[in-house]
């Protein structure tokens, strides 16, 4: 299949007949006809906090990946990373909109993305780390997408129909993200001595923040008890199997001697405790909206 321009390539339908531009925009509403009210017995504020966590993960990861535009090693990978960033941005839009819907405030996705302070963000710290080199980026994408796909596969059967529909739609995209990252880890791991070294180093650099992905705080516990979400700890076995398979084939050892980066008094990114990198990312991401708060686009 050939295209006259890069935009046409990004907006083309995939083999399932679905578009790939900015997931959540320009298509039939995937949430149309679904009851927007929280399930019976589920606190709307708690559900909103959980959706905010998942939305922030996607938003911040998307912003990081978008930094590769004009900087990727090949045009094909520039399009691929831009496409993945747009997929995640679409997930963020739906999840942040859901959060504003069920917490009773009526806040929009834009208000939540652009007008919260650093301490109000609830993303895992892995998502906010600087990109590093290409080996570092694909190693992080493999970790992030393998964890997120395992989580979303289980959210599909959760008790919140709205969150289930979002997870069902996102699962197709996350499968592609994981496959893309795995192919590059295999390629770099089996490439030159330098590409192998850099990818292994990238995996070791992000590994201290992996344990946080499987830690359940108070909000996650309540979602587990309500039948909305899985226990994060239950995702670890599947995650470890994927990493072992991909890294084993690439000849890259899964880090076993890297200590996890603990939070302060048990607090992590889910509690608003972030690395020094998030503030700089938000300053860039939010600058235009804050400079023109009344603007419409």
Smallest CA-to-CA distance from 213 within 234, 232, 200, 231 is with 232
φ, ψ dihedrals at 19, nearest 5°: -70, 165
Smallest CA-to-CA distance from 274 within 133, 84, 126, 131 is with 126
Which are the contacts of 90, defined by CB distance < 8 A and separation ≥ 6?
Answer: 22, 23, 24, 25, 173
Name the β-bridge partners of 264.
Answer: 267
pLDDT at 264: 63
pLDDT surpasses 60 at 154: yes
pLDDT at 259: 84
Domain 24-291 CATH superfamily: Ferritin, core subunit, four-helix bundle (1.20.1260.10)
Residue whose pair of structure tokens reads 């190693």 in the numeric block? 139
The chain-wide mean pLDDT, for the chain, equals 90
pLDDT surpasses 80 at 293: yes
How many angstroms separate the Cα of 279 from the Cα of each of 55, 117, 232, 246, 269?
17, 9, 26, 33, 13
pLDDT surpasses 60 at 22: no
Residue whose pair of structure tokens reads 């912003």 in the numeric block? 63
| Digit-coded pLDDT (tens) for 256-276 | 888 888 766 678 999 999 999
Confidence class of residue 26 from pLDDT cuts 50, 70 and 90?
A: very low
Using H for helix, E for strand and C for coil, what is the string for the chain? CCCCCHHHHHHCCCCCCCCCCCCCCCCCCCCCCCCCCCCCCCCHHHHHHHHHHHHHHHHHHHHHHHCCCCCCCCHHHHHHHHHHHHHHHHHHHHHHHHHHHHCCCCCCHHHHHHCCCHHHCCCCHHHHCCCCCHHHHHHHHHHHHHHHHHHHHHHCCCCCHHHHHHHHHHHHHHHHHHHHHHHHHHHHHCCCHHHHHHHHHHHHHHHHHCHHHHCCCHHHHHHHHCCCCCCHHHHHHHHHHHHHHHHHHHCCCCCCCCCCCCCECCECHHHCCCCCHHHHHHHHHHHHHHHCCCCCC
Looking at the chain, the whole-number percentage of residues with pLDDT higher than 90 is 77
pLDDT at 12: 57
Give the separation between CA 289 and CA 279, rounded to whole angstroms: 16
Lowest mean pLDDT among 70-79, 108-117, 185-194: 70-79
pLDDT at 52: 98
Q: Which residue has the higher pLDDT, 25 or 235?
A: 235
Give the separation between CA 274 and CA 293, rounded to whole angstroms: 25
Confidence class of residue 73 from pLDDT cuts 50, 70 and 90?
A: confident
| Digit-coded pLDDT (tens) for 192-250 | 999 999 999 999 999 999 999 999 999 999 999 999 999 999 999 999 999 999 999 99
């Amino acid at each position: 299949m050939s295209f006259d321009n890069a935009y046409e390539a990004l907006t083309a339908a995939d083999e399932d007949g679905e578009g790939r531009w900015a997931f959540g925009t320009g298509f039939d509403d995937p949430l149309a006809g679904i009851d927007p009210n929280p399930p019976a017995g589920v606190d709307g504020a708690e559900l909103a906090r959980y959706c905010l966590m998942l939305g922030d993960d996607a938003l911040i990861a998307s912003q990081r990946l978008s930094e590769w535009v004009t900087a990727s090693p090949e045009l094909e990978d520039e399009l691929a990373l831009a496409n993945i960033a747009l997929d995640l941005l679409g997930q963020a839009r739906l999840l942040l909109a859901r959060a504003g819907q069920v917490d009773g405030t009526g806040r929009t996705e834009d208000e939540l993305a652009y007008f919260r302070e650093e301490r109000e963000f609830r993303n895992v710290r892995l998502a906010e780390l600087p990109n590093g080199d290409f080996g570092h980026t694909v190693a992080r994408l493999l970790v992030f997408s393998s964890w997120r796909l395992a989580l979303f596969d289980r959210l599909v059967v959760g008790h919140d129909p709205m969150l289930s529909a979002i997870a069902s739609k996102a699962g197709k995209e996350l499968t592609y993200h994981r496959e893309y990252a795995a192919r590059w880890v295999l390629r770099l791991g089996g490439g030159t001595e330098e590409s192998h070294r850099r990818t292994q180093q990238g995996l070791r650099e992000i590994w201290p923040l992996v344990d946080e992905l499987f830690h359940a705080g108070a909000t996650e516990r309540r979602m587990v008890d309500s039948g909305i979400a899985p226990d994060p700890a239950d995702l670890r076995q599947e995650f470890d199997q994927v990493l072992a398979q991909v890294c084993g084939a690439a000849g890259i050892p899964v880090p076993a001697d890297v200590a996890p980066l603990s939070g302060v008094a048990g607090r992590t990114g889910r509690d608003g405790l972030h690395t020094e990198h998030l503030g700089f990312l938000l300053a860039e991401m939010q600058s235009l909206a804050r400079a023109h708060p009344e603007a419409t686009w």
